[in-house]
Amino acid sequence: MGKHEIAKGDIFRAGEVWESPKGTLYKVLDVQLRQATLRMGSDGRGRIIRRPYDAVINWSISRENYHG
C-alpha cells in the first residue's frame, strides 16, 4: 500500500454496510465533500443520517461486505 492510499475500513465508502457501536446496521449511500450519507438498515430503507466520512471509530464493516 502506498503512502497516500486509504485502507478499507478507514473511511465510509458508497455501497458499504457498517455496524454502529450500538449494533445498528447502516448502508452508505453517498460520500461528498467529506460527508457520508447513511441510511439505517442493511437494505438502506431506514432514516437518513450524515457523518464525517472518516468518523468510523468504534464502527465496523458488516460481514455482508465480504463475499469470500
pLDDT tens per residue, range 26-56: 999 999 999 999 999 999 999 999 999 999 9
Mean residue pLDDT of the chain comes to 89
Distance from C-alpha of 27 to C-alpha of 5, rounded to nearest angstrom: 23
* Cell output for 58: 468504534
pTM summary value: 0.83
- 3: confidence class by pLDDT, cuts 50, 70, 90: low
Distance from C-alpha of 58 to C-alpha of 51, rounded to nearest angstrom: 14
How high is the pLDDT of residue 68?
43
* Cell output for 3: 503512502
How high is the pLDDT of residue 9?
83
* Cell output for 48: 437518513
Order of strands, sheet of 60-61, starting from the edge strand that comes earlier in the sequence: 48-52, 35-40, 25-32, 17-19, 60-61
